[in-house]
């Protein structure tokens, strides 16, 4: 199923700059909808470059959402109106301003102006809390992630500029495997707490009706939502950059989603792409989602062997 998907995508969009090396896909198909009862089950899926790190653009906001819920659960941060608004806008409208407000709150840092060496070392240690949190979960997919940077519309300045160049290239980095792992945990209620997972799931649900899809920040047109059949439900977070002034963060287009089909089958899909031509193409991600919907309809869950004791 996965091999067919990749071969089809490369054949259809190879002339548009899509190549085997600038495409990563992780796909988890399910014979039914995901619920908290699915937590802890063995999951089989497919990966093409699933462990390769990409600059994640705004897909990283999934991780900041989970980090905020973790801080709320431990009591380090208290929920208030502005945090609630920032969490909603970070996911629903992909607000960078809302995201950076959350990064400041969960790490106890602020950005921009320069610091002396001792203050900078302390600041870096605080900002790196978010990496330490995800690695503390002990999930192999999170071992090499980096989610300690704010989201910028162009260049960085002051301490943010120094930090993003720390070690040569300290930009955020994620894999499609790590992204699907987090989505699965959220959807099955198995990260932070079931109640907080449910709150994240609610924030991630995205309408696909034309009235919503036409909004310029709806994250439907040019992404998975535009390729789904009528009646499908979508929980997603996409990301895209064109030229930002920083070649390490420019020309990417990604999406990560959980989709429930009208038939009752479902899937988690993450697709990362990079390159100028690909990032400017609004047809690739919807077409991949449409193809996955078709393949998922044909999917049959593996059956236990006849002599297996159930």
Q: Report the chain's terminal Cα–Cα distance, integer Å.
A: 27
Contacts of 52 (CB under 8 A, 6+ apart): 24, 175
Answer yes or no: are the C-beta atoms of 252 and 189 closer than 8 Å. no
CB burial string 83-114: b at 16+ within 10 A, e below: beebbebbbbebbbebbbbbbebbbebebeee
Interhelix angle 61-74/129-136, rounded to 10 degrees, is 80
Place of tokens 């287009």: 253
pLDDT in tens, 145-159: 999 999 998 889 999
Q: What are the residue ranges spanned by the domains of the chain? A: 2-297
Asked if pLDDT for residue 308 goes beyond 60, the answer is no
Answer yes or no: are the C-beta atoms of 103 and 63 closer than 8 Å. no
pLDDT in tens, 74-106: 999 999 999 999 999 999 999 999 999 999 999
> Does domain 2-297 fall into CATH 1.20.80.10?
no
pLDDT in tens, 171-187: 999 999 999 999 999 99
Nearest one of 18, 73, 51 to 280, comparing CA atoms: 18
pTM for this structure?
0.95
């Amino acid at each position: 199923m996965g091999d067919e998907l990749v071969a089809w995508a490369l054949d259809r969009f190879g002339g548009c700059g899509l190549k085997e090396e600038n495409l990563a896909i992780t796909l988890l198909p399910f014979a039914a909808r995901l619920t908290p009862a699915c937590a802890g089950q063995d999951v089989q899926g497919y990966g093409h470059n699933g462990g390769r790190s990409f600059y994640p653009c705004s897909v990283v906001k999934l991780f900041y959402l989970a980090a905020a819920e973790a801080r709320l659960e431990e009591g380090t941060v208290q929920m208030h109106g502005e945090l609630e608004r920032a969490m909603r806008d970070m996911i629903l409208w992909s607000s960078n301003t809302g995201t950076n407000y959350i990064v400041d709150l969960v790490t106890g840092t602020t950005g921009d102006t320069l610091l002396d060496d001792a203050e900078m070392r302390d600041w870096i240690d605080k900002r790196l809390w978010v990496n330490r949190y995800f690695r503390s979960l002990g999930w192999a997919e999170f071992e090499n992630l980096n989610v300690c940077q704010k989201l910028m519309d162009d260049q960085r300045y002051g301490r943010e500029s120094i930090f993003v160049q720390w070690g040569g290239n300290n930009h955020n980095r994620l894999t499609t495997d790590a992204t699907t792992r987090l989505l699965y945990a959220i959807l099955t209620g198995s990260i932070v707490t079931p109640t907080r997972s449910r709150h994240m799931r609610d924030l991630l649900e995205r309408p696909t009706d034309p009235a919503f899809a036409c909004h310029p920040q709806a994250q439907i047109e040019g992404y998975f939502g535009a390729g789904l059949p009528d009646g499908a439900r979508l929980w997603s977070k996409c990301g895209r950059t064109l030229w930002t002034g920083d070649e390490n963060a420019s020309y990417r287009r990604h999406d990560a989603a959980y989709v429930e089909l009208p038939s009752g089958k479902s899937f988690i899909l993450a697709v990362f792409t990079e390159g100028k031509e690909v990032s400017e193409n609004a047809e690739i991600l919807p077409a991949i989602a449409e193809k996955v919907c078709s393949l998922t309809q044909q999917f049959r869950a593996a059956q236990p062997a006849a002599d297996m004791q159930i």
